[in-house]
Structure 1
Amino acid sequence: MHFLIALIIGIGLFSSRPALATTLRLPEEMELLIVDGAPLGSSLLRGADSLELESGRHQLVFTVSRIVSGAGENRQTYTSPYIVAQFHTRDARQLTFLLPALTTQSERERFSRQPFIRLIDQNGAAVEAVFSRLPTDGAALMDALRRYNINQNPTPPLSPPS
């Protein structure tokens, strides 16, 4: 009798194994705002250096802020417009964002118009990802993302996280 119960529990544990998870490494300058359609509190991931994602397709919305000159009260900070990232984790165990230097004014202006970010896996191989600017036109961020997904995204919208 005890053997049968142990067998049923064992089968249940092995059949309900979690999906392959991917660790997403976040640069210090990146403030994550929305993950797969779910808004995050601004303090929730502030200072976090990673995020665990299930295997599959993902959509993130974030901004990049970087000190570009000065110190103390004289420091100047560049903050990007909202950026949408879309990618699939495939079989990657870890993904890392590589942000450009943004040292000159022209680099920052170009980045504001069209973000150029690389996403690499644990082996240093580039992962296919699409990065674009999210036009908000003064609308709420979630409304802007819904319009973006309807108007510019040829793939179906992401299902809400479970």
Structure 2
Amino acid sequence: MKLSLTVTSLLVLLVSASCHAITLKLDPDIDLLVLDGRKISGSILKGAGSLELERGQHQFLFRVEKPGADAAHFQSVPMIVTFNASAQSVAIRLPALTNRRERSAFDRTLNFQLIDEHGNEIVSVRDHLPRAADNNFEQAMVNYNRDAHAASVPRFALHALSANEAQLNVDFAWQDAGDLPSLQRWFQRFDAATRLRFISWMKTLRTS
């Protein structure tokens, strides 16, 4: 009896979870670079035609790549789309990209559609990603989301804060501990967004 109740409860939980999931359908020509502020591992996407997401606000950074020889090869600029979804599935519908004129227009206008399982367009905000140094798209999206651009989601910039703070503490550690305790206490007083901006500034100084 107890086993039956346990199995039933697990089934209910699984059904409930699936009802709140969104399936992101991936076109073979779409290269998903960053999802909700996090870099997408190639191993996750290899051979996958879809990903499962939670309902709510999401943000994709992607580009379109059509292989071909020399001039026939096409790789779009990185594109950002932010949206709120309550549908069962989401897909990116691409325009025709068969010639240079269509591809150039795609890069300029971002004329793709975000659609649900019924083919209805989902309201979204789109933008180009500013040029990413060294193709570090995850960091580029942290910077983008922090700087209040059209399709920014500030909370997606904060997931990197803990790792960055840990690195900053390592950087502090090589100094004489007596020199910096007041600086560390001062740093911890600020909110997460302010600390993120400070860390970004410190990185800029370090590399300049």
TM over 0.5: yes
In the alignment, is the contact (CA less than 8 A) between 1:114 and 1:132 conserved in 2?
Answer: no
Residue 31 of structure 1 aligns to a residue whose secondary structure is strand
* TM-score (structure 2 length as normaliser): 0.62
Q: Which has the larger radius of gyration?
A: 2
Q: Which protein has greater RCO, CA pairs closer than 8 Å, 6+ apart?
A: 1
Q: C-alpha distance in 1, partners of 2:48/2:6?
A: 39
**Residues 39-73 of structure 1: per-residue CA shift (max 9 Å, x gap):** 11234313421111111100111110114xxx6x5
- Structure in which a larger fraction of residues adopt strand: 1
What residue in structure 1 maps to residue 64 of structure 2?
64
Identity %: 31
> Does the CA-based 8 Å contact 2:144-2:152 persist in structure 1?
no
CA displacement, residues 122-161 of structure 1 (integer Å, 9 cap, x when unaligned): 112111112221112425212211221122046543375x
Change in CA separation of 1:142 and 1:15 when aligned onto 2, cut-off 3 Å: closer
CA shift at 1:34, angstroms?
Answer: 1.2
More helix by share: 2
SS at match of 1:44: helix
Q: Which 4+ stretches in 1 moved above 6 angstroms?
A: 5-13
AA in 1 matched with 2:54: E
Q: In the alignment, is the contact (CA less than 8 A) between 1:62 and 1:84 conserved in 2?
A: yes
> 1:59–1:84: 8 Å Cα contact kept in structure 2?
yes
Aligned positions of 1:41-52 closer than 5 A: 41-52=41-52
Gapped regions of structure 1 (runs ≥ 5): none
| TM-score, normalization by structure 1 | 0.77
1:113 to 108, 129, 133: 108
How many residue pairs were aligned? 153
Q: CA RMSD in A?
A: 2.8
